[in-house]
Amino acid sequence: MASRTKQKEEARARRLEEERARAERARRDRRLRTVGAIIIGAIIVVGVLIVVSSGGKKGGLQTGTEASATATTVNALLAGIPQSGATLGNPKAPVTMTYFGDYECPICQEFTLQGGFPQLVQNDVRQGKVKVVYKSFCTATCNGPGQTVFNNQQVAGLAAGKQNRFWQYTELFYHEQGQEDTAYANEAYLTGLARQISGLNLSTWQSDRGNSSLAAQVASDESDAHTIGVTGTPTLVFQGPKGQAAASAAVPSYSQLEQAVKQVS
Amino acid sequence: MSTAVSTARPRSISLDGKLRIAIGVLSLVGIGIGGYLTYTHYAGLHVLCLSSGGCETVQHSRYSKLGGVPVATLGLAGYIGILISLWIRGELGRALGFGLALVGFLFSMYLTYREAFTIHAYCQWCLGSATVMTLLAILTAIRMLSFEAAPAAPRKPVSRAERRRQMAGRR
């Protein structure tokens, strides 16, 4: 009798143990399924983020009405403002803003087209209070296609400067900037920009591109940047009667530019 | 002379408690990094950087934004989400924390790859954030896998007489 009871108890204990083990297995399986679902979900989410991150940015050489509209905007900004080489504005302006930039740098594009720069040109440069001197410093281009491409595109801008249209070329480059780290700034692109500049003699521009003094100018700009400790673009240095100042922001607003101008005026 | 012996056992923090503290601290570090980078971006300030120009180069690259939103801001949102998940009870909170940390870790690896092979510059803030996210992914994974759901209430043993009474009641 006692052994029967004992057998029953043992069977019950075995059954309970099996139930516990089954429940534990089910819980483990459920947890692993949850972890697996989270991992798959995370991979899908990150995949989408990567596609969005590396997705093609609109840009590149414009044609037709789009190119005409851009040219009109650029001409309206620069019309009537004196130019000499890479200098925009009255050469006797009391304040000089030296702009260290790279044509392929997206933040330079942001500053030139959407930051405080257009307002500075419309107001202070147009009124002869400030002149802007562009100096090239290789950042984005050297992180992508390299120094040779950088030299080539900067020389193309300086060659337009030989006909006092450096700033038209520079503005058009930023307006039609392509996707970073792609080799978009090829011969067709550089010549295409030059074709969009009204009044530019294309054959003179082509021959000026071979002028060794322009390549020397690019090297000299790079050397100047290293001398004053420029590490990124855009870097803006203001020089005036009261000394020197730097812009307080990477992409300064017009009021921040004004503040720097007042500081040195 | 009698000696008073304390019978109280020293309070010990469970594994989950330790993980929650570590995840909380790391999330706060991440919030600090993400908050600083977001602030400098929207205030238009230069980022403090130890190496020459690395941070500026990375911050000014096109990979610094995702759909127009700075990635630092997305990271900040992720760290805040992981921190909030610590207050959500049960498996849901753990799953949420693990999911967010895993997404953050995988995307940080992608951005670090871009720094190394596309931008060719490193930003200490980004590398710091990637390290924090990696640690968070490990800790939240451990927390997720070590989760013990509260066992179901054991069934009360029912005596034979009780069962007979129940059967009679049904009739």
Give, in words, the CATH class of A64-264.
alpha beta
> Under an 8 A CB cutoff, do A232 and B152 touch?
no
Q: Which among A64-73, A201-210, A222-231 has the top mean pLDDT?
A: A201-210
What pLDDT is stored for residue B163 in this prediction?
63
Specify the pairing of strand A83-84 against strand A235-240.
unpaired
> Under an 8 A CB cutoff, do B60 and A140 touch?
yes
Q: What is the pLDDT of residues A37-48, one digit of tens each?
A: 999 999 999 999
Q: What is the pLDDT of residues B137-154, one digit of tens each?
A: 999 999 998 866 554 444
Q: Look-up: residue for tokens 């009474």?
A: B165
What pLDDT is stored for residue B153 in this prediction?
47
**CB neighbours of residue A34 within 10 Å:** 18
Give the closest-approach CA distance of B58 to chain A in angstroms. 10
What pLDDT is stored for residue B2 in this prediction?
45
pTM above 0.80, yes or no: no
What pLDDT is stored for residue B148 in this prediction?
65
- All residues of chain A having their beta carbon less than 8 Å from the beta carbon of residue B103 are 42, 45-46, 49
- All residues of chain B having their beta carbon less than 8 Å from the beta carbon of residue A180 are 61-62
Q: What is the pLDDT of residues B46-87, one digit of tens each?
A: 778 776 567 777 777 778 888 778 899 999 999 999 999 999
Q: Which amino acid is at B116?
A: A
Buried b (16+ CB within 10 A) or exposed e, B140-158: bbbbbeebeeeeeeeeeee
As a whole-number percent, the residues of chain B with pLDDT over 70 amount to 74
Q: Which amino acid is at A129?
A: K
Helical (H) or strand (E) element with B128: helix B124-145
The pLDDT confidence band at residue B3, using thresholds 50, 70 and 90, is: very low
Residue B9 predicted with pLDDT over 60? no
Give the nearest chain A residue to B141 (CA atoms). A35
Q: What is the pLDDT of residues A159-190, one digit of tens each?
A: 999 999 999 999 999 999 988 777 899 999 99
Q: Which amino acid is at A214?
A: L
- All residues of chain B having their beta carbon less than 8 Å from the beta carbon of residue A43 are 106
A236 CB-near residues (< 8 Å, 6+ apart): A97, A98, A99, A100, A246, A247, A252, A257, A260
Give the closest-approach CA distance of B67 to chain A in angstroms. 7
Q: What is the pLDDT of residues A9-27, one digit of tens each?
A: 999 999 999 999 999 888 8
Give the closest-approach CA distance of A264 to chain B in angstroms. 20
- All residues of chain B having their beta carbon less than 8 Å from the beta carbon of residue A252 are 44
Q: Are A16 and A24 in contact (CB under 8 A)?
A: no
> Under an 8 A CB cutoff, do A106 and B62 touch?
yes
DSSP per-residue letters across chain A:
-HHHHHHHHHHHHHHHHHHHHHHHHHHHHHHHHHHHHHHHHHHHHHHHHHHHHHSPPS-S---HHHHHHHHHHHHHHHTT--EETTEES-TT-SEEEEEEE-TT-HHHHHHHHTSSHHHHIIIIITTTSEEEEEEE--SHHHHTT-HHHHHHHHHHHHHHHTTT-HHHHHHHHHHT---TTS---SHHHHHHHHHTSTT--HHHHHHHTT-HHHHHHHHHHHHHHHHTT--SSSEEEEEETTEEEE-SSSS--HHHHHHHHHHH-
- Chain B interface, best mutation among A12, A44, A49, by max B CB count within 10 A: A49
Range of lowest pLDDT (A70-84, A98-112, A124-138, B139-153):
B139-153
> Under an 8 A CB cutoff, do A140 and B52 touch?
no
Domains of chain B: residue spans and CATH: 15-41+65-147 (1.20.1440.130)
The pLDDT confidence band at residue A143, using thresholds 50, 70 and 90, is: confident
Give the closest-approach CA distance of A10 to chain B in angstroms. 15
Give the closest-approach CA distance of B97 to chain A in angstroms. 10
Kindly list the domain boundaries of chain A, sorted by start residue.
Answer: 1-55, 64-264
Q: What value, to the nearest 5°, has the Cα angle with vertex A209 and ends A157 and A63?
A: 55
Is the C-alpha dihedral spanning A62, A66, A67, A72 positive or negative?
A: negative
Please state the ipTM of this predicted complex: 0.76
Q: Are A231 and A108 in contact (CB under 8 A)?
A: no
> Under an 8 A CB cutoff, do A249 and B60 touch?
no
Residue B5 predicted with pLDDT over 60? no
